[in-house]
C-alpha cells in the first residue's frame, strides 16, 4: 500500500476541525489525537511526536521547500540573463510575501493557475526533443537500468558510481520530489472538504507515480538524449594549473579563465584522477572552482583535495557547473538556441513560486501546532526573508545545494515514519472498509 495513501488517510481521520472553514491536519495532529484515543496513558508521547514533527516540517519548509527553490531560480536566471542572485531573491520574496498573506485559498488559486500552464509548456517542448531523438530512447532506458545495478565508468562530464550510490541518490531525489514519506503533502490534503478520507488518500497515492515515474523519467530522457550530461570539457586549459602538496592536501594554482560566457562568481568544475572515492567507487573526482577577478583579468580559483596519492588532471579542461534546472535548460538549448533560456527559466520561476508558497503553508501549520495563530505572521516574515538570504551567495556548489535540501528531508522523514508505523493499520482498515462499501 502506498505510504502516501496511509499518510493522507490518517491525516484526514484525525484532522482538527474545530473551525470547519480552516481544518488543520498532518502527522502532528495524527500523533496527538491518535495516541490520546488509542493509548490514553501514553497521550504525552503523541504530543512529543507532534512537536517533533512540527519542528521538522518547519525545518524542511525553510531549507528544501524555500531556500533550495530560491537558489535554483537565482542560479538559472543569473546564468542566462546575468541578473544578480539577490535581485531574483528580492523579487521572489516580494511575490511570495504578497500571496501567502492571503492564506491557503489564495495559494490554491495561484498554484492552480500557473502550474498547469507550466506543465503544458514543458511537456510540449520535451516531447519535441524526444521526437527528434526517438531512435535513441530504447538505448537510454537500457543505460538507466544497467547503470542502476552496475558500476558506471566516468566519461566526459559524468562521474559514474556504484549501484549503492545510484540507489541512494535516486531515492533521495525521488522522496524530495514527490514527498512520499515526508507527511508534508498530507497537511495540504487535510484542508480539502470531503467526508471520505480514503478517497483523498487514493488521490494522493497517485502523486509519486505521476511525479517520479512519469515526469522525472521524462526529464531524465531529455537530459540523456541531448548528451549534455556527458559532454566533453566546455573549455580546454591553455595552461593547466600546477599542483602542490602539503601533508596529502593537494592545492591547485589559479588559472586564467579563457571561456567566452563566464562571469565573476560563476562555478566551474575540473576533474582529477586520484585515490578511490568511497561513495562512488570511482577514482575520478570533481574539484570545484569559482571565477574571480584579479588585476582586471578573470581567473579560476580552485578548491583543494585530500589524497594519499598525487592527483592528475583528467581531460585537460574544465566544465561549467550546471545544476538542477540549469542543466535541464542547457539540454533544451542543444535542440533550439534560446529554448531552455526562455522555457525553463519561466517554468522554474512558476514552479519555485508555487512550491515556496505550498511549503510556506506546511510550515505555518507546524507553527500553528506549536504556538497557535499568533506565530503565523512572524513566521511568514522570516520565511520571506530567507528567500532573499538564500540568494546572497553562501550556497556556491551543487554539493552545498544537496546538503541544504538533505537537512530538512532527513529530519522530516525520521519524524513522520514512526507515526505511520504505529497507526498505519488504521488507514489500512479504513481503506478496506471503503473498498468494500463501494464494490457491494
SS3 235: strand
Question: Is the pLDDT at 102 greater than 70, yes or no?
Answer: no
pLDDT at 341: 86
Using one digit for the tens of pLDDT, what is the confidence trace for 390-416? 888 777 666 666 676 677 777 888 888
Assess contact for 198 and 189: CB atoms under 8 A.
Answer: no
| Strand residues in 253-311 grouped as ranges (E) | 255-256, 267-273, 284-294, 297-302, 305-306
Q: How does DSSP assign 157-201, residue by residue? A: TB----HHHHHHHHHHHHHHHH-TTT-SHHHHHTTS--S-HHHHH
pLDDT band at 270 (very low <50, low <70, confident <90, very high): very high
Assess contact for 404 and 60: CB atoms under 8 A.
Answer: no
Question: Is the pLDDT at 247 greater than 90, yes or no?
Answer: no
Higher pLDDT, 260 or 217: 217
Distance (Å, whole) CA 48 – CA 174:
29
- Return the percentage of the chain with pLDDT > 70, whole number: 90
Assess contact for 180 and 208: CB atoms under 8 A.
Answer: yes
pLDDT band at 325 (very low <50, low <70, confident <90, very high): confident
pLDDT at 87: 93
Distance (Å, whole) CA 392 – CA 93:
13
pLDDT at 351: 85
Higher pLDDT, 297 or 173: 297
Distance (Å, whole) CA 153 – CA 146:
12
Q: How does DSSP assign 329-389, residue by residue? A: HHHHHTTSTTHIIIIIHHHHHHHHHHHHHHHHHHHHHHHHHHH-GGGHHHHHHHHHHHHHH
Average pLDDT over residues 43-67: 90
**R_g of the chain, CA atoms, integer Å:** 24
Q: Give residue 329's Cα distance to chain centre.
A: 16
* Calculated CA dihedral for residues 415, 416, 421, 426, nearest 10 degrees: 140
pLDDT at 153: 65
Q: How does DSSP assign 64-107, residue by residue? A: IIIIHHHHHHHHHHHHHH---HHHHHHHHHHHHHHHHTT-HHHH
Using one digit for the tens of pLDDT, what is the confidence trace for 105-159? 666 676 667 778 878 888 888 898 999 999 999 998 888 888 777 766 666 777 7
Domain boundaries, the chain: 3-230+329-439, 235-322
Mean confidence (pLDDT) of the chain: 83
Of 47-51, 128-132, 256-260, the one with minimum mean pLDDT is 256-260
Amino acid at each position: 500500500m502506498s505510504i502516501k495513501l496511509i499518510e493522507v488517510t490518517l491525516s484526514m481521520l484525525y484532522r482538527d476541525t474545530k473551525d470547519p472553514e480552516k481544518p488543520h491536519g498532518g502527522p502532528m495532529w495524527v500523533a496527538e489525537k491518535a495516541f490520546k484515543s488509542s493509548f490514553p496513558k501514553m497521550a504525552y508521547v503523541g504530543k512529543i511526536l507532534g512537536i517533533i514533527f512540527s519542528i521538522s516540517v518547519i525545518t524542511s519548509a525553510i531549507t528544501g521547500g524555500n531556500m533550495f527553490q530560491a537558489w535554483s531560480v537565482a542560479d538559472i536566471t543569473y546564468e542566462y540573463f546575468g541578473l544578480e542572485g539577490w535581485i531574483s531573491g528580492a523579487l521572489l520574496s516580494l511575490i511570495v510575501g504578497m500571496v501567502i498573506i492571503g492564506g491557503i485559498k489564495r495559494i490554491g488559486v495561484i498554484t492552480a493557475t500557473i502550474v498547469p500552464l507550466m506543465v503544458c509548456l514543458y511537456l510540449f517542448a520535451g516531447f519535441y526533443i524526444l521526437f527528434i531523438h526517438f531512435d535513441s530512447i530504447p538505448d537510454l532506458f537500457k543505460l538507466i537500468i544497467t547503470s542502476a545495478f552496475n558500476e558506471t565508468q566516468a566519461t566526459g562530464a559524468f562521474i559514474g558510481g556504484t549501484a549503492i550510490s545510484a540507489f541512494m541518490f535516486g531515492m533521495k531525489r525521488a522522496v524530495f520530489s514527490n514527498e512520499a514519506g515526508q507527511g508534508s503533502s498530507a497537511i495540504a490534503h487535510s484542508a480539502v472538504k470531503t467526508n471520505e478520507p480514503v478517497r483523498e488518500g487514493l488521490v494522493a497515492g497517485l502523486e509519486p507515480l505521476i511525479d517520479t515515474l512519469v515526469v522525472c523519467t521524462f526529464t531524465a530522457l531529455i537530459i540523456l538524449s541531448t548528451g549534455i550530461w556527458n559532454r566533453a570539457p566546455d573549455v580546454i586549459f591553455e595552461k593547466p594549473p600546477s599542483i602542490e602538496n602539503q601533508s596529502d592536501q593537494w592545492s591547485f594554482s589559479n588559472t586564467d579563465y579563457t571561456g567566452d560566457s563566464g562571469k565573476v562568481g560563476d562555478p566551474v568544475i575540473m576533474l582529477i584522477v586520484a585515490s578511490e572515492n568511497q561513495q562512488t567507487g570511482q577514482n575520478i573526482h570533481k574539484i570545484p572552482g569559482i571565477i574571480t577577478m584579479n588585476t582586471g583579468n578573470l581567473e579560476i580559483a580552485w578548491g583543494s583535495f585530500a589524497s594519499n596519492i598525487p592527483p592528475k588532471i583528467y581531460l585537460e579542461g574544465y566544465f561549467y557547473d550546471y545544476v538542477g534546472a540549469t542543466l535541464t535548460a542547457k539540454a533544451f538549448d542543444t535542440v533550439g538556441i534560446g529554448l531552455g533560456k526562455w522555457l525553463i527559466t519561466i517554468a522554474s520561476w512558476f514552479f519555485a513560486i508555487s512550491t515556496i508558497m505550498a511549503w510556506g503553508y506546511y510550515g505555518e501549520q507546524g507553527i500553528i501546532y506549536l504556538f497557535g495563530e499568533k506565530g503565523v505572521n512572524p513566521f511568514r516574515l522570516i520565511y520571506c526573508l530567507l528567500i532573499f538570504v538564500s540568494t546572497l551567495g553562501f550556497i556556491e556548489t551543487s554539493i552545498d545545494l544537496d546538503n541544504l535540501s538533505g537537512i530538512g528531508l532527513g529530519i522530516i522523514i525520521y519524524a513522520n515514519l514512526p507515526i505511520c508505523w504505529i497507526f498505519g493499520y488504521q488507514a489500512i482498515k479504513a481503506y478496506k472498509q471503503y473498498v468494500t462499501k463501494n464494490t457491494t
